[in-house]
Amino acid sequence: MEYIKKNDWDELQNSLSQKGYALMENVLTPNACETLIKDFGVDQLYRKTVEMERYRFGLGTYRYYTYPLPDVIAAIREQVYPRLVPIANQWMQQLKMGVSYPEQLIKLKQLCEEKGQNLATPLILNYGKGGHNTLHQDLYGEVYFPMQAVLFLNDHSKDYQGGEFVLTQQVPRAQSKPIVLQPKQGSMLVFPTNYRPILGKKGHYRATMRHGVSEVHSGERFTLGIIFHDAAQ
Ligand SMILES: O=C(O)CCC(=O)C(=O)O
Ligand SMILES: [Fe+2]
């Protein structure tokens, strides 16, 4: 994480304000990615494992980390969160939500605890051939932070084909716009968890956002999901 330059945060914030999502490359080294993938099999790191097909969430397996989080994940969460807070608060103001988020992640954690949300939400996801993730939103209780991140742990050019990240944006009285991204290994994508403001003729209006993953045609795809709020269950 020390290789994220200051400029890149400005770029990230501008991109979030303008497009609703932002991509930052080289956040994780290939080594860090490989270690996270290798540890997919280390049971004591996780609190829960979900076979996605069973719940009709798609096809693949994901595992929620348990607290204390591995250092690299805790570091990403703590370093990225304060950079997103100004944008999150701007969004809430533009949408007249009457909500504002605290500057420190530990304070968000306290707000979650007050609502009975105290389980870790970062997760690692694994998809093989045919694997996919149906369009969804990651809300785990009353308290939620409006942005989350996904880090790409391997690469579509050598490890898998297909498996694009899909973001849909739905505005009132219109059909959904798809945004399809295929980031490189080590990249971090930040995107809205449930909605974002878009400036229209009469001020800002709300666009509902969902995300998912298109079918993996071959190989194996791994991602790390970083959600900032804790879960009730
Ligand atoms: O595997 C992906 O790219 C999507 C993961 C996801 O749904 C998440 O991190 O919340
Ligand atoms: Fe998700």
Question: For the chain, which residues make up each domain, given as ranges?
Answer: 6-226
The torsion angles phi and psi of 113, rounded to 5 degrees, stand at -60, -40
Name the burial class of residue 170, with classes exposed (0-12), middle (13-18) and buried (19+) by CB atoms within 10 angstroms of its CB: middle
Fold of 6-226: Jelly Rolls (2.60.120)
Task: For 81-109, write each residue's pLDDT tens digit.
Answer: 999 999 999 999 999 999 999 999 999 99
Residue nearest to atom 10 of ligand 1 (CA): 225
How far is residue 160's CA from residue 66's CA, in Å, rounded to a whole number?
28
> Which stretches of 71-217 are DSSP H helices?
71-94, 105-114
Residue nearest to atom 5 of ligand 1 (CA): 225
Sheet strands (E) in 2-136:
22-24, 46-51, 58-59, 61-65, 123-127, 132-136
* Best residue among 40, 223, 226 to mutate for probing ligand 1, ranked by most atoms within 8 Å of CB: 223
Is the omega angle on the peptide bond into residue 68 within 30 degrees of 0, that is, cis?
A: yes
Q: Does residue 83 contact residue 149 with C-beta atoms inside 8 Å?
A: no
Residue 196 Cα to ligand 2 middle (Å): 16
Task: For 11-33, write each residue's pLDDT tens digit.
Answer: 999 999 999 999 999 999 999 99
